[in-house]
Amino acid sequence: MTPIGWIGLGNMGTPMSSRLLSAGYPVSVYNRSPERTVALREAGATVASSPAALLTQADVVFLMVSDDQAVRELFTGPEGLLQAQATGKLLINMSTVSPGVSREMAVLCQAQGHTYLDAPVSGSVKQAESGQLVIMVGGEESGFAQAQPLFEHLGKLARYLGPTGNGNVAKLALNTLLGFQAQGLAEALLFAQQHQLQTNDLMELINNSALGSVFIKLKGEAVQGENYAAAFALKLLAKDLRLAQAEGLATPLAETVVQTFQQAEPALGKRM
């Protein structure tokens, strides 16, 4: 089976790489914090000493890291992927980053005979564990065809969207809507509470109306149970909204949501 490399073993990367390992693929992993590799090594993965070393061991490499800077370091740093004496690899960046950094990395990869895809995902840890993510892909269509059998282990839908960066644009659009829905639900519940309506009653009405959705149901249940543990760090959504702004998002509602999350970030951004 195709040797797989995985870089970035956070809350999402660990269950996703575990699914490929469980499916029988030989998996090599690298993480900037080595302690995060322990569980996968015990499950049978090989631990690489650097991104460059990992690329020599794998035909397909996935990345899932936090931001543009981390992507650039992993590709172009002293021991980065592009320092490896290798060619003809498929590199799939599943990070939520700017379309611009994907276009930069795609050009650098092409110069060394590699194929680059931007393939961010929609979903959280539960969906990563169960292989129910939604994957949005930009880049070479031939690369998408090569990656499709792997995507089937990771998500319920993988959609090819066209040139490099389009997957990133789609993810920024989805996360913008996520910000709208999170703030909208919170404001609706606060309004109801100001008028002595019970949260449980309002959530039953919402969930049985055309406004109901999986996200609204899950977040409503969290509010009802006073469970405010973060499934997705606020600082990351604030970052995604800034990226969307940089790509031209400037509608009145978007400006309000961006402002809200930026104001919340200093106090609440790192909670997980």
Cβ atoms within 10 Å, residue 129: 16
* pLDDT exceeds 90 at position 270: no
Q: What is the pLDDT of residue 161?
A: 98
Q: What is the pLDDT of residue 271?
A: 84
**Is 89 a residue of the active site?**
no
* pLDDT exceeds 80 at position 182: yes
What average pLDDT does the structure give for the chain? 97
Q: What is the pLDDT of residue 232?
A: 87
Model confidence pLDDT, tens digit, residues 227-268: 998 888 999 999 999 999 999 999 999 999 999 999 999 999
DSSP secondary structure string for all residues of the chain: ---EEEE--STTHHHHHHHHHHTT--EEEE-SSGGGGHHHHHHTPEEPSSHHHHHHH-SEEEE--SSHHHHHHHHHSTTSGGGSS--S-EEEE-S---HHHHHHHHHHHHHTT-EEEE--EE--HHHHHHT-EEEEEEE-HHHHHHHHHHHHHHEEEEEE-SSTTHHHHHHHHHHHHHHHHHHHHHHHHHHHHHTT--HHHHHHHHHTSTT--HHHHHHHHHHHTT----SS-HHHHHHHHHHHHHTT---HHHHHHHHHHHHHHHHHTT--
* pLDDT exceeds 80 at position 213: yes
Q: What is the pLDDT of residue 177?
A: 98
Which residue of the set 89, 171, 235, 239 is catalytic?
Answer: 171
Confidence of residue 83 (pLDDT cuts 50, 70, 90): very high
Mean pLDDT, residues 118-125: 96
